[in-house]
Structure 1
Amino acid sequence: MSTAQTRRLVARLWNYCDVLRDDGVSTIDYVEQLTFLLFLKMGHERANRKSFPDLALKPVGDAWQWLLDSDGQELEDTYNHILREFGQRKDTLGVIFRKAQNRIQDPSKLKKLIVDLIDKEQWSSQGVDVKGDAYEELLAKGAEDIKSGAGQYFTPRELIAAMVSCIQPGPDDLICDPACGTGGFLLAVHDYIQHHHGNNLTPEQRDRLAGGGISGVELVDGTARLAAMNMLLHGIGKPNGRSLIEVRDALAEPAHTYPSVILANPPFGRKSSITVVGEDGRAGREDIEYTRQDFWATTKNKQLNFVQHIASMLGIPGRAGIVLPDNVLFEGGAGEVIRRRLLRQFDVHTLLRLPKGIFYAGGVQANVLFFDKKPARPDVPWTSKMWVYDFRTGQHFTLKQNRLSREHLDDFVKCYRPGEPREHRVETERFKPFTYDELIVRDKVNFDITWLKDPSLEDSDKLLPPEVIAREIVEDLTTALAEFTAIAEALEQGRDRPSTA
């Protein structure tokens, strides 16, 4: 990969963002418009190359030429027509253009973006790494736009890389992310398999990886298109083939496939327009309700529902790694029911406590829960020990001055001992085991376990910089506000519920 080439591409494309922002085009809207235009340009190149032209992309190639040949109002009308036509397709192309809209209302600026920034570059001749890494950087820049809320769909790539290193996906695994966002986990899995198994992959394994062995589900159309484009630019899938990204509500129905590997960062936030009715038979009042008999408990908490969904869809044998907010570790009611079931029916072997300041979405305190699914064993709990790694205490990161790097997670991965029997694990200052018997007697089976003291609270010489303290105060207040909002909503729903007396 050429870092210089990647930076050059990103710089060229990003310079125009400030111009469009003055016209009300947000950062993430700009990335979305780039997605449409980049795809059309690459389709044009592939459909018109001298050697082995891709005739299936001929309509895409023609569409780009129409844009080049149009000006003024005709250009705007042509662009809108292309977006509507391609959005009706049933393949990957259809996912990328699904419900697409033109956000660039000034035809002259749209023309400049088409001619001066995109058409002058031969995108198909760029290496997969250059194109893919450039697009990843654009997505990261889009995630930095806090006002757009795009950060909630972008998991830090350094954390993803560490999780994938622990899970160790292989070419024969069926891999899924049921809340895939912009596709970070899927790309990291593909990269890991190529790096560790690429020279030994059979033709069947290569076809499987490119054609469905790695897949994702995303609820939001705009985010799904970014994920689909992200995968195509990294050489995964085909524009005119079946989309590897499904656009739907993953929680709406039980899974039809049972992956052996699931990696996910489900959307944070407690409020949902859907209530799941679990095997306990309870249901809350909401606009939409559906029943999941494969769920253990009824809850409006989206993260708890995703834990149940992933537990249900995971194949046997299967392994999962999920990013979860703190409330999933200690919330009572449905949370306690789910944690008890997990400990008994799954091997819940590792919990990574994450520090503040690593997510683009503010106010997030998160963890990574790793568990394996094995054949049913009704008489003996599958969890014998849950190892907890405290990466939170004494760690302080920001998105600007002190960013999380992959090296910061090296010690955790070393302690995890990927691929080794867990009997080989060694207790350290930050890494401690807790037995099933110790966990099950904790109040509400609480996983919110800490034992380290923050040195900055004990030593005045180690006080944090003012900007870090200010950011942590903001994050604490944001988290507290979210919790109080959830309590208020629960009280209102209880007050509005008709009496059964």
Structure 2
Amino acid sequence: MLTGEVRNKIDKIWSDIWAGGISNPLTVIEQLTYLMFIRSLDEKELENESFEALGGEGIPKIFPQDEDGQNMRWSKFKTKDSRIIYDIVGTKVFPFIKTMNGANTTAFSRYMQDAMFLVPTPQVLQKMITGLDELYEHDIKDLDMQGDLYEYMLGKLASAGQNGQFRTPKHIRDMMVRLLAPTPNDKICDPACGTAGFLVSSSEYIRENFEAEMTSEQWEHFAGEMFSGFDTDRTMLRLSAMNLMLHSINQPHIDYVDSVSKQNSIASAYDIVLANPPFTGTVDAESINDNLKTVCDTKKTELLFLALFLRILRKGGRCACIVPDGVLFGSTKAHKALRKELVENHQLQAVISMPSGVFKPYAGVSTAVLVFTKTGAGGTDKVWFYDMKADGFSLDDKRSPVEANDIPDIVTRFHNLEGEMDRMLTEASFLVDKAAIEANEYDLSINKYKEVVYEKVEYDKPEVIIARLDGLNLDIAAKMEELRGLLGE
């Protein structure tokens, strides 16, 4: 975890950039991302040189070996005059990283072609370089901390995008990953990946639980094939590739794809899908993939993405995704068809209702987490419902840490559904028979099944209440007389 001191240093860099004229937080993160990438290239080159010096085999160089090429290295230019640094980064380093796209480069470099260097002045650039260098030299000790640093910066993206996308808080992502419990052999996908938060949370879970026992083949799988993500925003693709790179995933399948369009024909490819798909946004009806329409004929992105998850999962593959509450009880033909598909043709396991403050300060939408397994042959017997009331943070715009937190209970109970059999419908979690869901037109809102216990309130008889009111009136009259007497003296 980042200390308060480290956070303050990041905030200082941020405010320097802000004061220099870059006010869009996405642009700030982009520019810092480019500098972090430039620095990481030099770090890699230094590692290679150390390996060679110890008698290792020759390794292809990242930077050209002439003077101009060597001057592009972070360690060479960082101490120069601010105007010289600005010229080197703007006219040499930036064009260089935009064009490096060979077989051995990272996913990040693939999305650099349309990147723009937008740091306004030499002074702002020097502050950014000095601030980052100090962080790396004194505070950022390992990949985990680099990831935390990046996560903290991404946390400043406190606004929803044009198409209704917004960052899923890390603790919610981590909860969803723990519900599915991925293994080192799984292939994991987020078809609306944004900044790759779900993929990063999955990688952290795998390292935390399997690192000591993973084989070399599994590590190779981890660095590339294991993680796939799609998005239609190239800025997001750059940020997600950088985010994954900071977590030792150098060759993920991060691609520019409109997931629900005819452009995407992927089917039965993944073991796990984790996603928070866009809840709004325009979809061109002509471009929607026909096999999604067969599940639910709609233009609503949240329904189309659910149909997509079913298509891209292999049989036995599992999904945990966030949906707006409307998906659970919507009365349109498409809503009902999608819910029926999940319940009748696959195995719907859980509906976790989340409080509306989870996505504050930038959205107050009520949402739920759906957990299901693709079977193609049914399997839904009972569906587990959980009414989450607290997630460890206040549910106002401040989102301050609080003690109340249902997440540990949710994860524990989900992995022991046998123990939920005797739970009453009045409790926070309970199981509902498939027959009851079918009878309610596949309505999946928890309030349809949760029973509320009303406490009986005993009231006094009317004559007792009237006598009490008479007594109060007499008391008021006496006090008024006393007050008049005081005023008359």
TM-score scaled by length of structure 1: 0.76
Deviation by residue 1:42-82 (Cα, 9 ceiling, x = unmatched): 21122134412774533697534586467549836852664
Secondary structure of 1:260's aligned partner? strand
> In 2, are the aligned partners of 1:95 and 1:228 still within 8 Å (CA)?
no
Secondary structure of 1:14's aligned partner? helix
Structure 1 counterpart of 2:385? 388
2: CA distance, partners of 1:166 / 1:359: 20
Deviation by residue 1:167-193 (Cα, 9 ceiling, x = unmatched): 111111111111112122111111111
Assess, with a 3 A threshold, how the Cα gap between structure 1 residues 45 and 178 changes in structure 2: closer, same or farther.
same
* 1:205 positional shift: 0.9
Q: Alignment identity in percent?
A: 24
Residues 102-141 of structure 1 mapped to structure 2, 5 A cutoff: 102-114=117-129, 116-120=130-134, 122=136, 126-140=141-155
> In 2, are the aligned partners of 1:162 and 1:409 still within 8 Å (CA)?
yes
Query: Is 1:223 matched up with 2:236?
Result: yes
Aligned length: 425
Assess, with a 3 A threshold, how the Cα gap between structure 1 residues 63 and 442 changes in structure 2: closer, same or farther.
farther
Query: RMSD of the alignment, in Å?
Result: 3.2
Amino acid at match of 2:122: P
> In 2, are the aligned partners of 1:358 and 1:403 still within 8 Å (CA)?
no
* 1:248 positional shift: 2.0
Structure 2 counterpart of 1:155? 168
> In 2, are the aligned partners of 1:28 and 1:143 still within 8 Å (CA)?
yes
Residues 251-262 of structure 1 mapped to structure 2, 5 A cutoff: 251-252=260-261, 253-255=264-266, 258-262=269-273
1: CA distance, partners of 2:38 / 2:387: 47
Deviation by residue 1:224-250 (Cα, 9 ceiling, x = unmatched): 21111111112222xxxx443222212
Bigger drift between 164-173 and 392-401 goes to 392-401
> In 2, are the aligned partners of 1:96 and 1:225 still within 8 Å (CA)?
yes
Assess, with a 3 A threshold, how the Cα gap between structure 1 residues 139 and 454 changes in structure 2: closer, same or farther.
farther
* 1:112 positional shift: 2.7
2: CA distance, partners of 1:103 / 1:150: 24
Query: Is 1:244 matched up with 2:249?
Result: no
Assess, with a 3 A threshold, how the Cα gap between structure 1 residues 148 and 93 changes in structure 2: closer, same or farther.
closer
1: CA distance, partners of 2:148 / 2:44: 20
Deviation by residue 1:397-448 (Cα, 9 ceiling, x = unmatched): 235254478943112112212xx5x4443425011222222112224x3212
1: CA distance, partners of 2:300 / 2:151: 30
* 1:454 positional shift: 11
Secondary structure of 1:363's aligned partner? coil
Query: Is 1:321 matched up with 2:320?
Result: yes
> In 1, are the aligned partners of 2:177 and 2:202 still within 8 Å (CA)?
yes
Amino acid at match of 1:75: Y
1:171 aligned to which of 184, 188, 197: 184
Residues 41-52 of structure 1 mapped to structure 2, 5 A cutoff: 41-49=39-47, 50-52=49-51
1: CA distance, partners of 2:232 / 2:403: 29
Amino acid at match of 2:62: L
Structure 1 counterpart of 2:369? 368
Bigger drift between 88-97 and 62-71 goes to 62-71
> In 2, are the aligned partners of 1:258 and 1:315 still within 8 Å (CA)?
yes
Assess, with a 3 A threshold, how the Cα gap between structure 1 residues 328 and 407 changes in structure 2: closer, same or farther.
same
1: CA distance, partners of 2:71 / 2:404: 43
Assess, with a 3 A threshold, how the Cα gap between structure 1 residues 176 and 401 changes in structure 2: closer, same or farther.
closer
Structure 1 counterpart of 2:290? 292
Query: Is 1:330 matched up with 2:345?
Result: no
Structure 2 counterpart of 1:143? 157
Assess, with a 3 A threshold, how the Cα gap between structure 1 residues 139 and 206 changes in structure 2: closer, same or farther.
same
Q: Report the structure number with the largest CA radius of gyration.
A: 2
Query: Is 1:304 matched up with 2:317?
Result: no
> In 2, are the aligned partners of 1:439 and 1:446 still within 8 Å (CA)?
yes
2: CA distance, partners of 1:105 / 1:33: 11
Assess, with a 3 A threshold, how the Cα gap between structure 1 residues 195 and 48 changes in structure 2: closer, same or farther.
closer
Query: Is 1:63 matched up with 2:87?
Result: no
Structure 1 counterpart of 2:276? 265
Assess, with a 3 A threshold, how the Cα gap between structure 1 residues 329 and 108 changes in structure 2: closer, same or farther.
same
Structure 1 counterpart of 2:395? 397
Secondary structure of 1:367's aligned partner? strand
Q: Which runs of 5+ in 2 are unaligned?
A: 53-58, 458-489
Secondary structure of 2:50's aligned partner? coil
Query: Is 1:348 matched up with 2:358?
Result: no
Assess, with a 3 A threshold, how the Cα gap between structure 1 residues 24 and 127 changes in structure 2: closer, same or farther.
closer
Secondary structure of 1:153's aligned partner? coil
Query: Is 1:27 matched up with 2:36?
Result: no
1: CA distance, partners of 2:165 / 2:403: 19
Assess, with a 3 A threshold, how the Cα gap between structure 1 residues 123 and 139 changes in structure 2: closer, same or farther.
farther
* 1:32 positional shift: 1.4
1:97 aligned to which of 109, 112, 126: 112
* 1:264 positional shift: 0.8
Q: Which runs of 5+ in 1 are unaligned?
A: 276-287, 459-501
Structure 1 counterpart of 2:212? 199
* 1:273 positional shift: 3.5
* 1:28 positional shift: 2.4
Structure 2 counterpart of 1:433? 431
* 1:215 positional shift: 2.2
Amino acid at match of 2:338: I
Structure 2 counterpart of 1:491? none
2: CA distance, partners of 1:151 / 1:300: 15
